Amino acid sequence: MSALVLAVLLSLVSAVAYAAAAIVQERVAASAPSSAYAPVRRPAWWGSVTLNGLGSALHVAALAYGPLTLVQPMGALTIVFALPMSAVFIRRRAGAAAWRGAVMATAGLAGLLALTKGADAGAVAMGPRLVLAAAGLGAVAALFVASRALHRAATRSVLLAAAAGSAFGLASVFTKSVAEDWQSGLPAAELPILFAIAAFALVGLMLSQASYRGAGLAAPLATVTVVNPVVAAAIGLTLFGESFRYGTAGTAIALGFGVVAAGGLILLTTERLNAGRRTGPAPAPVAGMPAAPGAAGRQEDTPDQTATPPALR
C-alpha cells in the first residue's frame, strides 16, 4: 500500500471518528441539558472524548504519510459523514437544506485549503507565539461572552461552535509549530506552548459540547469543521508566511471558496432556525441514554435558563 493511499484511508477513518463523536456529543447535550459544558458523569460523553482523541491521532498519522493539502481538506468530510450516520444510528434525517448547506461548507473549505501553500511554522519566535496565544484566548472568550447574550438556541450554538473551532484551530497552529521545532528532544522553552495547546484543546472540547445544546447536529458541527482550519489558515497566512497558490488569481479563487463555505453555514443556521418554529417528537435516544425532555422543535427557541457557570467543557 502506497503512503498516499494510507494517508487517504487514515483521513477517512479520522473523519468517521470525529463524526461519531459529534453525534454522541449532540445526544448527550439533548438528554443532559443541565450539564452544558462538561457532563463528566455521563459515560457516553467520555466515549465521545475517546472518539475525538482517536480522530486526532489518526489525523496526525495521516499527515505523516500524506501532504497537508490532501489531508486537511479531507477533514471537511466529517459533516458529510455525520448526516447519514445520524440518520442510521439515531433515526434523525437531515432535510434538503441541511444537506445543501453541508455540501456548500465542505466544498468551500476543501477548495480554500487546497489553495493554501504551507510555510515553516517553527520560524516564528516565542514572543509572537505567546502574544498569539493571549490574543486567541481573548477572541475565544469574546465569542463565548457574546453567545451568553443570545436567546435563540441555533444562533447561540453557532457562536459557541465558532469559539470552539477557533480554539481547535489555535491548538493546531501551536501543535504544528512545536512539531517543527522538536528535532532532538523537547526544548524547555516550548513548555508554555504545550500548556497553550492543552488549554485550547480543552476549551474547544467544552465549547463544542455546549454548542450542541438544543441546536441539533448539522449547524454546530459544520461551524466547527469550517472555522477550525480557516482560523489555522488565516494565522498561517498572516504570521507564518503562508500564501495561496497561483498568486493573485489563486487568492481571488480562495476568497470565492470562502464565500461558498460561509453561505453553507448561513444556510445550515437558517434551516435550524426554521426547524425551531416547528414542533415534533423528540429524536430517538442512543442506547443507554434517556430521551431528551420535551419535543425537539420546542427546544430550539427556548432560552438558556440554567445557571451553568462559564466553566469550559
Instruction: Pick left, alpha or beta for residue 139 (phi over 0 → left; psi -120 to 50 → alpha; otherwise beta).
Output: alpha
Give the closest residue to 174 by CA, choosing from 206, 129, 135. 129
pLDDT at 34: 59
Please tell me what DSSP assigns to residue 37: S
**Residue 111 CA neighbour count, 13 Å, CB half:** 19
pLDDT at 282: 46
| Number of neighbours of residue 204 by Cβ within 10 angstroms | 27
pLDDT at 310: 35
pLDDT at 17: 93
Q: Please state, in angstroms and rounded to a whole number, the distance separating the CA atoms of residues 4 and 246.
A: 24
pTM score, two decimals? 0.71
Give the closest residue to 205 by CA, choosing from 14, 80, 52. 52
Beta strands in the chain (DSSP E): 116-117, 243-244
pLDDT at 138: 94
pLDDT at 306: 37
168 near 224, Cβ under 8 Å? yes
Q: How far, in Å, are 60, 93, 120, 175, 176 from residue 123 at the CA level?
A: 21, 47, 6, 14, 11
pLDDT at 20: 92
What residues in the chain have per-residue pLDDT under 70? Answer: 1, 32-36, 66-70, 72-73, 94, 116-124, 179-189, 240-243, 269, 271-313
